[in-house]
Chain A
């Protein structure tokens, strides 16, 4: 009846030690699909939006979607949902690898972690056998060691591990949850929430494969996999060059944020691009996540002998152009360090970039560096050094660990933090893309590019090419992209599948997996419901709609050079239109009628 859902959630209270399994009502599944949507609904129902994110009253939810752990193409994704310490908004962070599929195979759509342990623990899940175990011996250790050690001592060599590193333990506001050693639920500080609960890791082994409700499922899977394989982006571009294919594209289009977004063209892009990673011989091979026909992951080895995965586009940019650094060795090393220490690479690199601007402007005094390397743009030693210091909150790292906004604010200049709702912006200067700029301003989890990736139509020309500087129709596009992304995140698929698949495809997969007679309109309505639910949660948390804004730089400082020279973001024209398209008041609040229409109480 439930098809590829297990219909069960595992609830573990770390304060009381209670472990229980609960049924998930089918009505919730149909309304919120799973993954991001379903977990957001449980958070909305169970966690007071005013709660301190790092208190025992907050909950940490690991959620799979109906397609997670199935053979559906890219069906290896899971979400970590909680109230976030960096932004104070709802936090939800997506990751691939193999952990999510394994959790599903163990028999659970979701794992809800409550309370707080008084000593370090890990959660052991082997199908129905679930235990809270001591993790004192792992506290302080990196994610790689933790992963290996847990598999070894449990004897479950094929189990999957999601864990935190020292950054999560030390409550760094942008600490990540790392699974399968190299995959990150990176953004919004979900790792700090895990650390606040003294939960070091979750190790899971499952033996139950989900069974679709209809025989059509395999046929639909074959059809969609074929589409992905034949598509020039998902079948060729991403497998060959990974996400770093974007460095040259975004730079040549003049929106590659350089030196803390002071300009949109980086003069040394050729040194750090995806092409360079191949040409320099650092790339060893590709690695695919569970059930993924794309395989965009990069396995790399540096001339120094260091080996790992990455850098992805965002990471390469955050430690590269954003810090003015063109040393691909140092960039990759900082990336590996983030994976092992459990840090979000975007916020880590962008926070260092912000500190560099403050230092160069004479706002951050030299004595505050506490003998650390100079925070000058281009200093490759600095990116590695301060990444380490952030994870351990040592020296200046303690202040940097609060994120760029709080850091810059502590020096009286929050305007130099390139963030929205206190989360650092990713690798696209909004002055070069008006629709994407609107997406930044309205993202429910703060500055983020994967809540409605408008770069796709505005720069890449998929599904059609839009003029990046035009405002026409952009509010409508952003709404559709945000709603569709909520669907993809909730089904348990990878956002990259959307370069080749559309709303009808996601409906086909969901319908075949669950047996539901469901229309594309109903699926998109679920996406809109999820978006509005997140928005209502944020409003209740005290996030003022006035926070739907961008750093002053993008509104008042015209792009100094390159193809977008002279451009600023026209947010005051875009935002009112967006609120209208969303069916919200002109102040940005969902109306009673809208909430009623969506069935949100």
Chain B
């Protein structure tokens, strides 16, 4: 509970050498899990992270998030609350202790 509260606040990072990934919206409904933690000794790119996460989940999520080698239109991947579109795209480096939020295309109002 406390851990979730912390990430919602957008302040805390993952713990130790872990990268915390959270899934939202239809992605969460499809995968049936709210998130996972990945151990890493050093920085990895978002691209690598997607591939590692796919392996852990046993489902290839890259097709849901990427269009070929690009981020799918409307897909939101946030590293510590910042959209990777305005960082270094799929090559954005994620460090142990960071948190990543992944949203499939979504809208409302």
Q: A residues bordering B, Cβ < 8 Å?
A: 232-234, 236-238, 240-246, 248-249, 251-254, 265-270, 274-275, 278, 296, 312-314, 449-450, 453, 455-456, 459-465, 467, 495-496, 499, 561-564
Contacts and interface: CB of A to CB of B under 8 A. Distances in A.
Contacts of A237: 25-26, 104-107
Contact of A233 (B9, B74, B86): B74
Nearest to B101: A252
A496 B8 CA distance: 27
A61 to B, nearest CB: 24
Contact of B5 (A243, A267, A467): A267
B109 to A, nearest CB: 6
B81 interface: yes
A249 B11 contact: no
Contact of B106 (A265, A270, A460, A495): A460
8 contacts: A232-B72, A245-B106, A245-B108, A252-B78, A253-B81, A278-B29, A461-B74, A462-B107
Contacts of B5: 267-268, 270
B7 to A, nearest CB: 9
A552 B98 CA distance: 33
B108 A462 contact: no
Nearest to B83: A465
Given A249-B24, A563-B82, 7 more contacts: A233-B106, A243-B108, A245-B26, A252-B24, A461-B73, A465-B83, A561-B10
A268 B7 CA distance: 10
Nearest to B80: A563
B85 interface: yes
B28 interface: yes
Contacts of B76: 249, 253, 459-461
A249 B109 contact: no
Contacts of A238: 106-108
Given A462-B107, A496-B109, A274 B74 contact: no
Contacts of B81: 252-254, 562-564
Size category of the binding interface on chain B: 20 to 34
A313 B10 contact: no
Interface string B71-109: 011111010111101100000000000000101111111
A37 to B, nearest CB: 20
B25 A274 contact: yes
Interface string B1-34: 0001100111100000000000011101100000
A238 to B, nearest CB: 6
Interface string B37-66: 000000000000000000000000000000
Contacts of A251: 8, 10
B90 to A, nearest CB: 13
Contact of B109 (A236, A252, A265, A495): A495
Interface of B: 4-5, 8-11, 24-26, 28-29, 72-76, 78, 80-83, 85-86, 101, 103-109
A233 B29 contact: no
B106 to A, nearest CB: 4
A254 B78 CA distance: 11
Contact of B4 (A270, A314, A459): A270
A181 to B, nearest CB: 21
B107 A456 contact: yes
In the A-B complex, the 7 residue pairs with the closest CB atoms:
A563-B81, A243-B108, A232-B105, A237-B106, A562-B10, A233-B107, A246-B108
B105 A313 contact: no
Given A237-B107, A267-B9, A248 B25 contact: yes
Contact of B24 (A248, A267, A312, A496): A248
Given A236-B26, A249-B76, A562 B9 contact: yes
Nearest to A233: B107
A404 B10 CA distance: 29
A274 B108 CA distance: 11
Contact of B75 (A241, A453, A455, A461): A461
Given A238-B107, A241-B106, A252-B81, A266 B26 contact: no
B107 A270 contact: no
Contacts of B108: 238, 242-246, 296, 312-313, 496
Given A233-B106, A245-B108, A252-B78, A269 B8 contact: yes
Contacts of B73: 461-464
A455 B107 CA distance: 9
Nearest to A239: B26
Contact of A270 (B8, B86, B101): B8
Nearest to A312: B108
Contacts of A562: 9-11, 81
B97 to A, nearest CB: 16
Nearest to A263: B9
B93 to A, nearest CB: 17
A496 B108 CA distance: 7
A332 B74 CA distance: 29
A59 to B, nearest CB: 28
Nearest to B6: A267
Contacts of A460: 74, 76, 105-107
A196 B80 CA distance: 51
A254 B80 CA distance: 10
Given A265-B8, A465-B85, A275 B109 contact: no
Contacts of B83: 253, 459, 461, 465
A12 B78 CA distance: 54
Given A237-B104, A245-B25, A563-B82, A268 B8 contact: yes
A499 B73 CA distance: 11
B20 to A, nearest CB: 12
